[in-house]
Structure 1
Amino acid sequence: MAHTFEDLVELEQSAEAAHAQYLAGTTDPDAARQAWIDAAAAFQQAATEHAEAEGKVRYEVEMAVKKAVRHPESSEG
């Protein structure tokens, strides 16, 4: 399944949110950790598929998405 850049941003945002939940020390840290791992893995898989479909370098796709998620003000315009 080909993913759009926007799909990748949403997946990375989910991974970041799961990571924050884990760091917040939820009542079930094992479940929170697994949710984070699963969300991060979903993002990585989608980034790989997107890069292959677009003929791009996977690392560059990943970095562009992470920049858009972590620094949205610098990716506007």
Structure 2
Amino acid sequence: MKKTVLFGLSALMISGCASSVRYDYVKEGASNHQKINDLSECEYNIRLNKTRAIEQKELLNLCMQGKGYRYKRVV
């Protein structure tokens, strides 16, 4: 009985680690280097304007959308 429970818990833990969902900014035709540069520019401008922490994520999304990116689930 203990072995069955232990095996079940082990399998559940392993499957949880293997199936982590990840989201990222995606733009057709954009290289990873270009995405990092655009993301850095947006983050810099947000910090430069001393934006409140609660607004930073939304502003980052709007900035990246303005550059043609979409925040999507990636495999």
Q: Would you tell me which structure has more strand in proportion to its own residues?
A: 2
TM normalised by structure 2 equals 0.39
TM normalised by structure 1 equals 0.39
Select the structure with the greater relative contact order (CA < 8 A; seq sep ≥ 6).
2
Q: Would you tell me which structure has more helix in proportion to its own residues?
A: 1
Greater radius of gyration (CA): 2
